[in-house]
Amino acid sequence: MTHIVKIMPDAVSQTNGPRVAVLAYDGLCTFEFGVAYEVFGLPRPEMGPGWYRYRVVAVEDGPLRAAGGLTVMADGKFDHLAQADLIVVPGWRAIDADAPERLLLALQDAHRRGARVMSLCSGITVLAQAGLLSGLKATTHWRYAAAIAARFPDIDLDPSVLYVDNGSVLTAAGSAAGIDLCLHVVRRDFGTAAANSVARRLVVPPHREGGQAQFIPGPVARNHEKERLSPLFDWMRENIGRDLPLAMLAKRAGMSLRSFQRRFEEAAGMPPGEWIAVNRLREAQRLLETDVRTDLEEVARLTGFGSAANLRHHFRTRLGISPAAYRRQFA
């Protein structure tokens, strides 16, 4: 049974902020589309009248098929793209499927007049076909990286990151990474407090460290190796403030150092040293958010960074913010 969903631009008349146009097309990726709606289109009276003006723009004549057995009818007209401040391409029907010529021309016109253009997951192929990514860094889902690199060799493709912001052209990796990019846009437009508010309503972290490399399948560790490493991960988290030399960890896992490093990376998606740094940073974030009385030296000691200077270095390098500023924003 096919369900018909009629998408009404109900939020347009209630706000006067940036105009956001989200594309609807035959073969619509419903998850990516839903992400864009949840962040930019859901009514948020607590944000005031300056919040986004959201509209769905049909790329083709409807009704349009959507993933999951839905049929979509969008009220937004194609010429609304000419007024949009931000255009979102929520996936595309196939990574090798051509986009309509009039859509490519509309995206080029929007880019020339200063609008932002953003893709989620496979939507990168539309931006690439429009020539908007030539010479720029970009990302997409790791499954599509090889196909995009082969078809568009002039793109500086980085499939290890969650999203890339080039200012007026933005790309997100896999489906859930679209949430990260949308929250990043909210942070740019309305500040950290607004992004945190949206993230809380979504029940997601306002900022995720790392990239999608940890989700890319690699060689599968043997079952008995997984059984060895699972309790080790738990022990390392519980003792993240201790010195954790690799030789000691390998001994706890019952492996040679070389085998331990290889098996650890296969299981965790990152080397042991990187895993330790990421988890120390997460624990430091937790302490800064929940205990405003603990000074930075103590936070550094409790999380294994050793000194406030080292803690500051990791915060600035990985999060682009100082621990003190992070505490002011999130505590």
With both helix axes pointing from N to C terminus, report the angle between 223-238 and 272-290 in degrees, rounded to the nearest 10.
40
**224: number of Cβ within 10 Å:** 9
Measured CA to CA, the distance from residue 284 to residue 109 in angstroms comes to: 45
The CATH code for residues 217-331 is: 1.10.10.60
pLDDT at 235: 93
C-alpha distances (whole Å) from 52 to each of 21, 25, 176, 298, 306 are 10, 22, 21, 42, 44
pLDDT at 214: 41
Measured CA to CA, the distance from residue 231 to residue 249 in angstroms comes to: 12
Q: What is the pLDDT of residues 131-180, one digit of tens each?
A: 999 999 999 998 999 999 999 999 999 888 888 999 999 999 988 889 98
Decide the pairing of beta strands 3-7 and 70-74.
parallel
Q: What is the pLDDT of residues 101-137, one digit of tens each?
A: 999 999 999 999 999 999 999 999 999 999 999 999 9
Measured CA to CA, the distance from residue 31 to residue 19 in angstroms comes to: 21
Most confident of 113-122, 182-191, 230-239, 283-292: 113-122
Q: In what order do the strands lie in the sheet with 169-172?
A: 53-58, 19-24, 86-90, 116-120, 169-172, 163-165
Residue 216 has pLDDT above 60, yes or no: no
Q: Which residue would you say has higher pLDDT here, 17 or 204?
A: 17
Q: What is the mean pLDDT of residues 60-89?
A: 89
Calculate the average pLDDT of the chain. Answer: 87
Q: What is the mean pLDDT of residues 232-251?
A: 93
Residue 11 has pLDDT above 50, yes or no: no
Decide the pairing of beta strands 70-74 and 86-90.
unpaired
pLDDT band with cut points at 50, 70 and 90 for residue 291:
confident
C-alpha distances (whole Å) from 90 to each of 69, 75, 94, 327 are 17, 17, 12, 34
pLDDT at 12: 44
Torsion of CA 116, 117, 121, 123, to 10 degrees: 170
The pTM of this model reads: 0.66
pLDDT at 212: 55
pLDDT at 229: 84
Measured CA to CA, the distance from residue 185 to residue 167 in angstroms comes to: 10
The region of weakest confidence among 35-44, 202-211, 249-258 is 202-211
**CATH class of the domain defined by 3-202:** alpha beta
Q: Is the distance from CB of 171 to CB of 158 less than 8 angstroms? A: no
Q: Do domains 3-202 and 217-331 have the same CATH topology?
A: no
CB proximity list for 87: less than 8 A, separation 6 or greater: 20, 21, 22, 23, 81, 107, 110, 115, 116, 117, 118
Residue 208 has pLDDT above 70, yes or no: no
pLDDT at 86: 98
Token pair of 318, please? 């990985």
- For residue 89, report the phi and psi dihedrals to the nearest 5 degrees: -105, 100
Residue 225 has pLDDT above 80, yes or no: no
pLDDT band with cut points at 50, 70 and 90 for residue 93:
very high
> What are the structural domain ranges in the chain?
3-202, 217-331
pLDDT at 14: 77
